[in-house]
Amino acid sequence: MKRFLTFLFAASALLAGGCSDSDTDDPAPPEAPAPVIKLPEAVAASPLSVSPEGGTSWFEYEVENPVEGEAIAASTTDAWVHSFDYSVSGRIGFAFDPSEGEVRIANVALTYKGAEKKVVTLLQPAPETPELTFDIRVSGIDGSSAVVAWTPSDDTASYVPMVVEKSLFDSYATEADYIRSDIEYIQGQADLAGKTFAEMLDMFLTTGPTGEQTISGLASDTDYYAYAYGMTAEGVATSAISKTEFRTGPFSCEFAIAHEETESTCDVEVTPSNTGCFYYFDLAAKADFDTWGTDAEIVASVVADLKETAAYYQANGYDLDWTDFLSIGPDGYEFTKLSPDTEYVVYAFALTEEGRPLTGVTRETVRTEAFVPTDDCTFGISFRNVSVTAFDISVRPSNAATRYYIGVCSKELFDKNTPSSIADAFIEMENGYEIDWAGNEYIWTGDVTVDTDTDLAMGDLDAGTDYVAVVFGVSTEGVRTTEVASAVQRTSELVPSTMTIGLNVRDVTASGAKFDVTPSNTDEVYFADVFVYDEYTAYDEGKEAYAEVYMDILKAYGLFDYSLYSGNRTVDFTDMLEPSTTYVAVAFGYNGGRTTKIFESEPFTTSAAASGTVAKTVRSRRHGSLGAFRPERRSIEKRLLVDAGSPRGTLARFSSVADLRELPLQGLRGEPSDAAGLRLRRF
């Protein structure tokens, strides 16, 4: 039955076809399938990874149902992928550039006429940065130094190379904590140097091998690390810490002492072989030094004197410890005020911070030069017209052609120095004034009589005080040519006065005030000024002592005469006082010394500075600028005067406040420094 029905359908189809027009009865050809771009699953499913180093690569493809005469094409807008190659059938090659440091992706479009576009994603990872490491080699180790060479694995990476005591490094729980402490240390160094952190860090960073660097200032018998780690210019660590441990050798120290003498000075340079230990050096007259006993006795005596001296300065407001007087590394000092043609001993010894000696006492005997005059002129000195504040000096030279200098100093000062050092101080003072030694100002010839004030610019001398007139020949180059002649004269004694003084303060502002002075005797000279009330009234030794110290300061700086007046006066302190400060106006008679009691005004307080006002420049003293006046008296008192209250003992150094300026920086406590032994740069 099924076979029959099939036949009938086929016959019907043939009959129907026989009735059609002969031009339209050919069937349409079947439609060809569209081309399809096919990619391997590994290429289509995920990005195709390429090397960060750059190069060439390829991927496979297939075109299903290709069209004759058509070809596949690849393109991308990412310029780092280029140079597509179709020379191998079923494969597209391409070139790609080296990585620029970060991950990047390129989308490659595949097109074929009639086919749907396909996209191949290429991924280039960032180059792997190798871990920064360091080869740190230590050699040449002795008791105070070592030679260290740092070599990084990457010569372009910046890093910090340093040396530190192992105990300090190990006291930090983690490397991160230690690096953080390094940054704090560098910041501290920046603060001390007045630099920014970035500026100071730049001094610590380096790149490439350092070569062999000598690290000095190490403690003996001590474990250290030479270490390094990467760090950027912004202070970001870029690697772990690499370190090499080493131990310094046993303690030893020898001292090389270089010296150069004149008739009154000895310039000393001390170089220890151990640059990491404390030591002390000084100078003493050989005749005295030979009586000091054994090395142990010398060290004990010097340490005791150093501690006593430190206690004295501490009591006077100086923040220091006795070990601040010690040296580390090469150091020097110029000893002055020495006697001509005299033997001295320069000595040095190493010791601990507790004062325990580490070495014996090294000695070097020196002799000052003998003064050899080039002019045998002598000088006769006499005095006349002696008053409370001045006197005349008459000089008669044995050679009328000799050029000579006349100076005056207190007998106290003269007795604490040698005639040669006194003469040297006068020459140094005049050099500071830029005197013309070939001229005739303050240079004399023949018989002369000079006044201490008018001719020698000494100002008012102190009453009842012994002074020494000093005379010596001098060349046109400022070199002494004769022996020093001297004679003593005492000023007249102070005469008390019955004068009284009235004071009326007015016109008080934030920065000044005026006060009227009314003396009972308009012919007498008086001193008038203002004192800071709290300082004046709280001074330990009393108000009179405060006034004496205040006057001494003014005298030392040549300002005292500007506080002396006579008659009824208005003293103007406009723009000379500080805001919100309590003052008192004072006055007393003066004639070579204080002749009356101190008269005081009622205390007065300056007002607060107005908000937003610009601070005025405070005048240094009254009467406007002092530029036309001499800045200080022609006096050597403040240049040579040794504080009589300070202990000296065995010490030639640090016997006066001025010597504190000579303290070596590395000896100061609380100051970060390479010599402190905490962290040491490679240089």
What CATH number corresponds to the domain at position 423?
Answer: 2.60.40.10
Give the residue with greater pLDDT, 678 vs 608: 608
pLDDT at residue 63 in the model = 94
Do 79 and 148 lie in one domain? The reply is no
Instruction: Give me the half-sphere count of Cα atoms (radius 13 Å) on the Cβ side of residue 44.
Output: 11
**Amino acid code (one letter) for 266:** C
Give the residue with greater pLDDT, 410 vs 646: 410
CA 28 to chain centre: 100
Task: Report residue 28 as tokens.
Answer: 């349409």
| Beta-strand relationship, 404-410 and 466-473 | antiparallel
Which residues of 27-184 form beta strands (DSSP E)? 36-38, 48-49, 55-60, 62-64, 73-75, 81-85, 91-96, 104-111, 118-124, 134-139, 146-152, 158-165
pLDDT at residue 135 in the model = 97
Nearest to 485 by CA among 438, 581, 543, 419: 419
pLDDT at residue 2 in the model = 38
Task: Report residue 210 as tokens.
Answer: 């350092």
Do 453 and 472 lie in one domain? The reply is yes
Distances (CA, A) of 583 to 144, 290, 510, 546: 57, 56, 12, 14
pLDDT band per the 50, 70, 90 thresholds, residue 312: confident
Range 496-509 average pLDDT: 95
pLDDT band per the 50, 70, 90 thresholds, residue 336: confident
- Of 213, 247, 281, the one marking the end of a domain is 247
Q: Which helix (H) or strand (E) holds 256?
A: strand 255-261
Burial class from Cβ neighbours inside 10 Å (0-12, 13-18, 19+) for residue 681 reads: middle
- Of 439, 458, 490, the one marking the end of a domain is 490
Q: Mind listing the pLDDT tens digit for each residue in 632-683?
A: 334 555 434 333 333 335 666 664 434 443 333 222 222 223 322 233 432 2
Nearest to 355 by CA among 385, 323, 327: 323
Nearest to 272 by CA among 214, 364, 350, 213: 350
Sheet holding 448-451, edge to edge: 379-384, 392-397, 448-451
Q: Mind listing the pLDDT tens digit for each residue in 177-187?
A: 999 999 999 99
Classify residue 679: in a domain, yes or no: no
Average pLDDT, the chain: 84
Do 61 and 105 lie in one domain? The reply is yes
**Amino acid code (one letter) for 334:** E
The CA distance from 202 to 226, in Å, is: 19
The CA distance from 409 to 635, in Å, is: 7
Do 407 and 472 lie in one domain? The reply is yes
Do 540 and 570 lie in one domain? The reply is yes
The CA distance from 398 to 407, in Å, is: 18
Do 477 and 386 lie in one domain? The reply is yes
Q: Mind listing the pLDDT tens digit for each residue in 510-567?
A: 999 999 999 999 999 999 999 999 988 988 888 998 888 888 878 766 788 888 999 9
Task: Report residue 618 as tokens.
Answer: 């405070």
Range 495-503 average pLDDT: 95
Range 491-508 average pLDDT: 94
pLDDT at residue 432 in the model = 80
Look at 301-305, 391-395, 444-448 and tell me which has the smallest mean pLDDT: 301-305
The CA distance from 320 to 298, in Å, is: 23
3-class DSSP state for residue 674? Answer: helix
Range 363-370 average pLDDT: 95
Domains: count for the chain:
5
pLDDT at residue 78 in the model = 95
Residue 556 φ/ψ, nearest 5 degrees: -60, -30
pLDDT at residue 25 in the model = 56
Percentage of residues in the chain with pLDDT exceeding 70?
84
Do 600 and 551 lie in one domain? The reply is yes
Nearest to 389 by CA among 523, 491, 466, 525: 491
The CA distance from 364 to 351, in Å, is: 19
Classify residue 640: in a domain, yes or no: no
Give the residue with greater pLDDT, 289 vs 317: 289
Indicate whether 169 pLDDT > 90.
yes
Classify residue 641: in a domain, yes or no: no
Classify residue 398: in a domain, yes or no: yes
Task: Report residue 335 as tokens.
Answer: 């000893």
pLDDT band per the 50, 70, 90 thresholds, residue 3: very low
Range 215-228 average pLDDT: 89
- Region label for 369, one of left (φ > 0), alpha (ψ between -120 and 50) or beta (otherwise): beta
Residues 362, 271 contacting (CB under 8 angstroms): no
Indicate whether 442 pLDDT > 50.
yes
Give the residue with greater pLDDT, 287 vs 216: 287
pLDDT at residue 350 in the model = 94
pLDDT at residue 669 in the model = 22
Indicate whether 608 pLDDT > 60.
yes
DSSP state of 225: E
Indicate whether 463 pLDDT > 60.
yes
- Of 431, 461, 490, the one marking the end of a domain is 490
Q: What string of H, E and C letters represents the secondary structure of 488-509? A: EEECCCCCCCCCCEEEEEECCC
pLDDT at residue 431 in the model = 84
3-class DSSP state for residue 141? Answer: coil
Do 512 and 600 lie in one domain? The reply is yes
pLDDT at residue 26 in the model = 59
Domain with 410 in it: 379-490
Q: Mind listing the pLDDT tens digit for each residue in 124-155?
A: 998 877 889 999 999 999 888 899 999 999 99
pLDDT band per the 50, 70, 90 thresholds, residue 404: very high
Residues 94, 73 contacting (CB under 8 angstroms): no
Range 430-442 average pLDDT: 89
Classify residue 163: in a domain, yes or no: yes
Do 451 and 516 lie in one domain? The reply is no
Q: Mind listing the pLDDT tens digit for each residue in 232-277?
A: 999 999 999 999 999 999 988 999 999 999 988 899 999 999 888 8
Classify residue 12: in a domain, yes or no: no
Residues 652, 283 contacting (CB under 8 angstroms): yes
Do 615 and 522 lie in one domain? The reply is yes
Classify residue 397: in a domain, yes or no: yes
DSSP state of 274: -
The CA distance from 481 to 478, in Å, is: 9
Indicate whether 330 pLDDT > 50.
yes
Residues 515, 503 contacting (CB under 8 angstroms): yes
Cβ-Cβ contacts under 8 Å for 57 (sequence gap 6 or more): 48, 50, 93, 94, 96
Range 370-391 average pLDDT: 95
Range 439-451 average pLDDT: 95
Instruction: Give me the half-sphere count of Cα atoms (radius 13 Å) on the Cβ side of residue 261.
Output: 21
Residues in the chain: 683
Do 111 and 184 lie in one domain? The reply is no
Do 432 and 406 lie in one domain? The reply is yes
Classify residue 436: in a domain, yes or no: yes
